[in-house]
Structure 1
Amino acid sequence: MAARQADPMAHLPRAGDFLLYPPTIQPWGYRIVDRLFAHRVVRRGRPKPWARGAEIAPAYLADGRAQDVEAFMERNFLAGLLVVQDGRIRLERYGLGLAEGDRWTTMSTIKSWTAILLGAAIRDGAIESVEAPVTRFLPELAGTAYAGVTLRDLLTMSSGTRWTEVYSDPDCDVNRYSRALAAKEPGGVLRIMAGLPRATLPGSAFLYNSGDTFLLGAALTRAVGRPLADYLSERIWQPAGMEFDAFYTLESEGGQEIAGSRAGMALRDMGKLAQFVLDDGVIDGRRVLPEGWIEAVAAPRFAVAEPKPPGITHYGYSWWLGDGLMSAIGFAGQRIDILRAERLAVITLGAFPQPPHVPPERDPAHRREVVSFVQAVRHLLGGPAPAGL
């Protein structure tokens, strides 16, 4: 057999180790997710430019000293920082090689947008109610621990299935899930979920479970009868005038979108999603979400036990909730904080170094500092004085 010609080839980090990348790999890997996993594009339409207001210069306390925006970016390994208020950009920064049009990984912040998209499907009549059983849309789960689980249970991560989500443990359920994505096995994630045992009654207890949101996205796909990427494009991405294409990762080539992790979006387009929430699901006077859906999403459903994300007390419909906060939170520093009373949103994109490469207390320290910064921005733009963390 003839030897292969020695053509140039890119060496990419192992997709199956995505949640275990060392700090040297994170900023690169998080920018090239569509090269690591199967994906489907969310098509933009005609871009609508942002209005820009006067730039703000928030300061906050960390390690007993006042810190500025530049220190915030450097201390916390941030690739992106965006502050929007009343439809205007008040601060926009890039780091770690991220450019304006690059799509950075959403990590689990996409879970919160799945809950938003579910509201569009309810308004469209594709889904009658959050009380619908999951097996109505995914009959292959009949006879598993998901029998009797409702869409509401998936929204609130209270399916009752036993699940482990410890990112530094290669053998936990979420890393088995991640390896199935890297292997691009058709139906691989669904088989993992169907094999989970039941731990508690559905709807009785909160347990963070990325697999629950995968099933929510799969049920939503069946309900609307087309790929989630197309549905998001039609209902929100194009009408809102996003500047760049986005993408969902897929469980396999041409397969189901992963509704709970590692999509890719540009920073300003994440800001427009936040503005869509601030506008109560209305775009240019046209209602996309049912009246009251944002209120329902932001209603506390379960108190969150320790350890919990800084600034957070409860979980709602796939959103983390705190004092005036609706927060979409993802691995390694991805966070979208929406403060509806102040018509304000703060988006941070990060590459917080992770265990086993750094001590486990490093990640919570970075997360606390992000909340300190958000509180400082909130106070600067008309909100209450920062509270102690």
Structure 2
Amino acid sequence: MPPSSNNMPALPAQHLPNAEDFLMWPPCLQSYGFRNVDRLFASRTIRRGPRVRVLARGPLYDAPFSAGERQMSIADLMNQNNMTGLTVTCRNQVVLENYGLGLLEHERWSTMSMVKSMTAVLVGAAIADGAIGSLDDAVTSYLAPMRGSGYEGVSIRHLLTMSSGVRWMEEYTDRDSDVNRYSRSLANKVPGGVLNLMASLPRAHAPGAFWNYNTGDTYLLGAVMCAATGRTLADYMSEKIWRPAGMEFDAYYTLESADGQEISGSRAGMALRDMTRFAMLVMNGGEVDGVQLLGDNWIETVGTRAFELAGLENTAGTELLGVSAYGLSWWLDDDGGMWALGHSGQRLYINRREQITVVQLAVYPEPAYFSSQEPDRDTDLLHFIRTVRQHLAS
């Protein structure tokens, strides 16, 4: 009999991947772990309401498309991009809803950083409520622990536009980068750990002068929202968006620690169909059944170009998607497209003029697991979206 460290009986147990390596998992662990994020990190439920908004269904869209010299079907794209989910809507009708890699309709998949854009949309409700006076309010007016830190003089607008000027390294392959120190704090559920990390960072640029992708900025945005509204971010999202928009499933924000602050900029969990409802809400200018949920013109505000990205570092390969500018936590292209982008292939596209949305959930391998045969997944996704627009926008 082998030795045992305890006297517990050998009952069935389910192994979960190491949460500290969340940004470094191989694809096999990603495809399992991304649907179990709430089992790896502390979380808080975003509750749906009693009424589900039924999605209208249009004719099935299944046209092939050209990707350079190759002809691809939608099935080809799903296989190549390791997709777990894909939806297309046109004029408020779902014309495609596909699932892959075993993802079920009710399961929540990690949003990754797409939730940054979603949290930015929620800011509009806080302004409309009067909880936030102005985008130019100082962060330190709401968060006393940031006084005297590199965030002195930083405004809410600076957080939304990734221009706090605070030094931050968003390098996923470097275990000692700021984003991985942040991730380890979340995995270890350290109370106040992320806020302490952010308060320790030095100033690198004047606020508003320089764009640098910074997941920590959006963490502070969520903390500002909670301080301003006196509510948890999950409850406020439920009241202002999830319930009135008729979401079908509960969602969740992850937390920095048990019963702690929501992580407003990464690794939330939502069902594909509700991400699609969110995309349609934005496409419709924040209105549901003629009722404005976010305040007049807020969607136009978040979609306004704040920084041109040409020549800037740390744009996460977004040029493959045709993205050329950054708004208020939304990526923007030159054809009227708004993008919410998340790590490892999470993509949400909205074209308000053409009334089209596309949502992709996927497992893109981390750089350590790239092969010499890696396809240009985002380039082919962009070819697909352009073909969708050609067929459906006319």
TM-score (norm 1): 0.96
In the alignment, what sits opposite 2:99? 94
Deviation at 1:60, TM superposition (A): 2.1
Give how far 1:5 is off: 2.4
Are residues 187 and 273 of structure 1, via their aligned partners in 2, closer, same or farther at CA, if it must alter by over 3 Å? same
1:299 aligns with 2:301: no
Query: How far apart are 1:251 and its partner, in Å?
Result: 0.4
Query: Over aligned residues, Cα RMSD in angstroms?
Result: 1.4
Q: Which residue number corresponds to residue 338 of structure 1?
A: 350
Partners of 2:196 and 2:301 in 1: how far apart? 31
Question: What secondary structure does 1:332 align onto?
Answer: coil
CA distance in 2 between partners of 1:66 and 1:382 (Å): 21
Report the 3-state secondary structure (helix = DSSP H, G, I; strand = E; otherwise coil) of the residue aligned with 2:217: helix
**2:89 counterpart (80, 84, 90):** 84
2:8 is the counterpart of 1:4 = yes
> What secondary structure is seen at the aligned counterpart in 2 of 1:80?
strand
Change (3 A) 1:362 1:131: farther
CA–CA distance in structure 1, aligned partners of residues 94 and 393 of structure 2:
16
Alignment pair present for 1:249 and 2:261: no
> Are 1:354 and 1:360, in contact at CA under 8 Å, matched by a contact in 2?
no
> Structure 1 residue 169 and structure 2 residue 180: aligned?
no
Aligned to 1:149: 154
Unpaired runs of at least 5, structure 2: none
* TM-aligned CA deviation for residue 6 of structure 1: 2.1
For 2:304 and 2:244, the matched residues in 1 are separated by: 27
- What is the aligned counterpart of 1:268 among 268, 273, 276? 273
Shift, 1:176, TM fit: 0.7
Q: Over residues 337-380 of structure 1, what are the superposed CA-to-partner deviations in whole Å (9 max), with x where a residue is unaligned?
A: 000111110000010111111159948x2111111111111111
Contact kept? 1:78, 1:348, Cα under 8 Å: yes
Report the AA paired with residue 98 of structure 2: R
- Indicate the residue corresponding to 1:350 in structure 2: 362
Q: 1:263-287: per-residue Cα shift (whole Å, max 9, x none)? A: 0000110011011111111122221
**CA shift for structure 1 position 61:** 2.1
Contact 2:52 2:247 in 1 (8 A): yes
Q: Does 2:61 correspond to 1:56?
A: yes
Alignment-derived partner of residue 41 in structure 1: 45
Aligned match of 2:393 in 382, 386, 389? 382
What's 1:28 paired with?
A: 32
CA distance in 1, matches of 2:372, 2:162: 24
CA distance change for structure 1 residues 208 and 63 in 2, over 3 Å: closer, same or farther? Answer: same
Aligned amino acid, residue 280 of structure 1: G
Q: Secondary structure at the match of 2:186?
A: helix
2-side partners of 1:127 and 1:184: how far apart?
A: 29
- Aligned equivalent of 1:286, options 291, 309, 313: 291
CA distance, structure 2, for counterparts of residue 297 and residue 64 of structure 1: 36
Change (3 A) 1:111 1:361: farther
Letter in 2 for 1:374: I
Which segment is superposed worse, 276-285 or 311-320?
Answer: 276-285
List per-residue Cα deviations over 1:72-110 (Å, max 9, x = no partner): 100110000000122210101000110111100000000
One-letter amino acid of the structure 2 residue matched with residue 189 of structure 1: V
Q: Aligned residue for 1:231?
A: 236
Partner of 1:386: none
Partner in structure 2 of residue 366 of structure 1: 377
SS in 2 for 1:335: strand
Structure-1 separation of matches of 2:108 and 2:44? 13
User: Residues of 1 paired with 2:339 and 2:285: CA distance?
Assistant: 15
Aligned residues: 382
In structure 1, distance between residues paired with 2:257 and 2:382: 36
- Alpha-carbon distance, 1:31 to partner: 0.6
Q: Specify the alignment match of 1:325 in structure 2.
A: 337
- 1:324 deviation in Å? 1.2
> SS where residue 22 of structure 2 aligns?
helix
CA distance in 1 between counterparts of 2:359 and 2:63 reads 14
| Contact 2:251–2:269 under 8 Å retained in 1 | yes
